[in-house]
Chains A and B, each alone.
Chain A
Amino acid sequence: MTTLLSAKNVSKAFGGVHALNDCSLDVAQGSITGLIGPNGSGKTTLFNVMTGYVKPDAGSVSFDGNDITGARPNKVFGLGVGRTFQLTRIFARITVLENMLVATQRDESWLRGLTRSKSSPTEVVAAMEWLDFVGLAKLAKLEAGSLSYGQSKLLELAYVLVANPDVILLDEPAGGVNLTLINIIGEKIKALNAQGKTFLIVEHNMEFVMKICDTVTVMHQGQDLVAGTPAEVRANPAVLDAYLGGGEDDDDVEELANG
């Protein structure tokens, strides 16, 4: 399996805090890779480095063979790397459909944007398809700010997808949503993966991770500790140590131990 996206020996410090310490991660094409670790282990920072929101102090990030270290977020997105955020970010004061349309324009010059109307029929069709996929098609004309938390998570996923990225980084997709929705999200991810999309998922919900991921990497204190299949990781004593050492993640530990 070829590696589609990878981070090599990445380090990043914020003031005195070493968020990332010589961290490496490989995401194989077509896989669903999970990234877990106790709070503060650097998962979101790694995401930020890989998607261009944060410049690393050392190390490199490459996508599809090209070095994208330090590239700006819009460039990274343009190359085919999409991501969602932990605190769902949508454009609250425009409609759900319009949210989708913002994402369809990544290849266009802003000057042409003056003359072109908001939406071409092909774009609307594509956008509606994705909205349908996540189950929000009926709400297309609603102001995005009135969506529920779970719905806005789905919207965020949809508009990242509408740009047809090759790899999608999901930051805690199951966070704060009910069980049914978690299952739906899991199904969608699997369906997309079957179509060839690669996923990298940060999650605290162990059940979710173990169920849908092919490989799992565990992070601890800014470093990649262990990487392997869910079964391997679950059995690895170093992983349990990392979580126990952190202390606050008893739920995670329990889930890990009980599988």
Chain B
Amino acid sequence: MRKLSNLWWVALVLCGLVLPLLMTNPAYRQIAVYTLIFTACATSWNMFSGYSGYVNLGAGVFYGTGAYSTGLLAEHLHMGGNGTLFWLVPLGGIAAMIIAIPVGLIALRVRRHTFVVITIAIFFVFQLTAINAGWTGGSAGLPLPFIPWQASYYQVPFYYVTLGVLIFAVLLSAGVRRSRFGLQLLAIRDDEDRALGLGVQVAAVKLTGFVMSALVIGMGGAIYAIFQGQIYPQFAFDPIFDITVALMCFFGGFGTLVGPIIGGLILESSQQYLTVTYSNGSLYLILFGVLFLLVILFMPRGIAVYAREYWTRRETKAQADQAALAVGGQS
């Protein structure tokens, strides 16, 4: 098994740091910010759903909670339109974690197939509340203090903040994977009842994983809110967000560390690009759907897994060839 060595990771981070300096077109920078937000959310989503096998299709709950709590806090604390708003980002993440506790307690009681649907149902409860309740601003949405940075510069701070969140998400996910806790999640994925029989505290482990995944997604929502300057309930709680995050992980490699990153980078940037280029028609929907279909059918466990298997096969063949040579035969 060939995992990405640390050198690759460092290279990636360096690229990430340098990118905004190379991209001067604000439209591209905007795509980059969204790409980073989604990639961070996907990584965090994968940390629970990928490792445990409990596919959560209501991640929008965390995202929207992060967004709305940021907006509400900004309003109540009378915050101005400047960089201090970024302090709300971790608070948004924490708010999402708090919400994740009761949601998780309800949703994790059911078995996997039902879990998927109940997360959707809970998501819609949140969305409808946001649309209809007074204190969320209703369907008119919630405004945030607008940060009057120069238009050509606007995206840059957001980019770096989000990059920081992404790096944090990856470190967190890697840490979980290496830990005992992560092993238990994986065991739950393969055979939950057997794990229970072996003494794994399944319920506690699942809930913890679920709540942990809410942190970064909530932060993503918070960043989105500040970036946009205005929260609309149907975009903060967007069913497409739910599916997209899951999609990225399946596309890139479900349950792997690097999978959501591949998925996020490719899918989100291409989706944004297509939306911008073909904004008149719904061609991008078709293209997106087709692309996705092809990957699912031919590489159902995601690109990363197939890449890894491909490398393993090459290595094994190379070893076999070497061995054959050593014995004196032809390869």
Contacts and interface: CB of A to CB of B under 8 A. Distances in A.
Determine direct contact between A and B, CB below 8 Å.
Answer: yes
Interface in A97-137: 98, 101-103, 105-118
B13 to A, nearest CB: 23
Interface string A74-92: 1001100001010001111
A18 interface: no
A105 B186 contact: no
Interface stretch (B105-113, B155-163, B187-195, B287-295): B187-195
B180 interface: yes
A77 B204 CA distance: 18
B119 interface: no
B213 to A, nearest CB: 13
A74 B199 contact: yes
B259 interface: no
B186 A94 contact: yes
Contact of B197 (A77, A90, A105, A114): A77
A74 B178 contact: no
B184 A110 contact: yes
A70 interface: no
B124 interface: no
B300 to A, nearest CB: 14
B198 A103 contact: yes
A108 B184 CA distance: 12
B205 interface: yes
B184 A91 contact: no
A90 B186 CA distance: 12
Residue in B181, B194, B197 with the greatest tally of chain A CB atoms within 10 Å? B197
A102 B195 contact: yes
Interface in B114-152: none
B179 A113 contact: yes
| Closest CB pairs A-B (n = 3) | A106-B199, A91-B190, A113-B180
Interface of B: 176, 178-184, 186-187, 189-191, 193-201, 204-205, 208, 255
Given A107-B199, A109-B201, 13 more contacts: A74-B199, A77-B198, A85-B194, A89-B191, A94-B183, A101-B180, A102-B200, A103-B198, A105-B184, A113-B181, A113-B184, A117-B180, A118-B180
